[in-house]
Amino acid sequence: MSESERLRARPEAAGGGAMRERVGEAGAILAGAVRDHQPAYVFALLSGGHDSLATTWLASQHPQFSGVVHIDTGTGIPETRKFVRRVCRYYDWPLFVVRTNEDYRTLVLAHGFPGPALHQKMYQRLKDRGINAIQREFTRPKGQAIMYVSGIRRQESVKRMGYSQPVQVYRAQRWVNPLFDWSAYDVAAYCREHRLPRNPVKERLEMSGECLCGAYAKKGELALIEAFYPWTGRRLRRLEAEVHAAGFPWGWEEKPPAWFGEVKRGQRMHEAFTPLCSSCNWREQAEKDGAA
């Protein structure tokens, strides 16, 4: 049974009045952050996953909601981008799709597939620079704060990565996580209550699929992608062959060998601010916790 099927089959952790209380608390977190920080714009970050969709719906109810930002990493599953566009059209949400000038293929041909050690490099090139582009586009005059509403939820592993508060300040960016104390069951109940559509990619792969950099890919993920999205799978297989030919003897699902890790030592994932990769960070840390 998939994660999505389990969530639909099991009653939500907070029902009735308790759920209304959770929604009220989430709305209060967002409203308080807007009041305290007075951002020029309030953007919801929609990756295509269930958490980000529930968060976007909540943010869209705020009077200062400015629209949706989707980061096109250039290495995601096209069906997720189509889902995001379709949802935004349906709800009439302004959508800003951002893609940096960085090219994933160029990066991995130069450095090999990242593994956890080079996750920060991938984040900076494929996502963080997209956020910086939004900052440049919408901050007039320079220095105005922009608020990004994300779907990060409190989980033990995520908390140790530095996400210990629902509101964080990073440069001229204000990051707000209104569903911070929600469970996955709360999110599922909220989506059902508002009849929010579910991304088929997330349903099938248990990840939103907007980024396939491979930093935290596990054995079997590529085969699963190939089974449901063969075009994307073939693209990654062709890229693997190119990367091998460029002199890097490991695949998309593999970590660089120890000798390569020694060369690249110094990038530690938990010291970096990478909110747009929280779900992948959590999966990696959760696996380490299970093995401990």
pLDDT in the model for residue 275: 72
Q: Average per-residue pLDDT in the chain?
A: 85
CB atoms within 10 A of CB 230: 10
Share of the chain above pLDDT 70, in %: 79
Average pLDDT over residues 66-89: 96
Q: Of residues 163 and 197, which shows the higher confidence score?
A: 197
Cα atoms in the 13 Å half-sphere on the side-chain side of 271: 6
Give the strand order in the sheet containing 95-98.
95-98, 65-71, 41-45, 146-149, 173-176, 167-170
pLDDT digits (tens, 9 = 90+) for 37-53: 999 999 999 999 999 99
Cα atoms in the 13 Å half-sphere on the side-chain side of 157: 15
pLDDT in the model for residue 222: 97
Nearest-angstrom CA–CA distance, 284 and 115: 11
141 cis-preceded (ω within 30 degrees of 0): yes
Strands 65-71 and 95-98: parallel
Structure token pair of residue 275? 């909110």
pLDDT digits (tens, 9 = 90+) for 198-225: 999 999 999 999 999 999 999 999 999 9
pLDDT class of 6 with cuts at 50, 70, 90: very low
Cα–Cα distances in angstroms (integers) from residue 247 to residues 50, 103, 109, 121, 217, in the given order: 38, 19, 9, 20, 20
pLDDT at 291 over 80: no
Cα atoms in the 13 Å half-sphere on the side-chain side of 109: 11
Q: Buried (b) or exposed (e) across 195-220, using 16+ Cβ within 10 A?
A: ebebbbbbebbbbbbbbbbbbbbeee
pLDDT in the model for residue 11: 44
Among the listed residues 233, 264, 232, the one whose alpha carbon sits nearest the alpha carbon of residue 248:
264
Cα–Cα distances in angstroms (integers) from residue 292 to residues 37, 87, 171, 234, 287, in the given order: 40, 40, 35, 35, 9
pLDDT digits (tens, 9 = 90+) for 231-272: 999 999 999 999 999 999 999 999 888 876 555 554 443 446
Nearest-angstrom CA–CA distance, 46 and 70: 5
Residue 209, phi then psi, degrees to nearest 5:
80, 10
pLDDT class of 273 with cuts at 50, 70, 90: low
Share of the chain above pLDDT 90, in %: 67
pLDDT in the model for residue 172: 87
The domains located in the chain, with CATH, are 3-291 (3.40.50.620)
Q: What share of the chain is helix, strand, coil (3-state, %, to 5)?
A: 55, 10, 40
pLDDT at 287 over 80: no
The crossing angle, in degrees rounded to 10, of helices 221-228 and 230-245 is: 140
Do 282 and 155 touch, CB atoms closer than 8 A? yes
- Pseudo-torsion of CA 262, 163, 193, 36, nearest 10°? -140
pLDDT at 86 over 90: yes
Do 228 and 206 touch, CB atoms closer than 8 A? no
The SS3 call for residue 148 is: strand
pLDDT in the model for residue 213: 94
pLDDT at 179 over 70: yes
pLDDT in the model for residue 257: 86
CB atoms within 10 A of CB 248: 20
State the DSSP string of 83-121. Answer: HHHHHHHHHT--EEEE--S--HHHHHHHH---TGGGHHH
pLDDT in the model for residue 13: 47
pLDDT at 158 over 70: no
pLDDT in the model for residue 12: 43
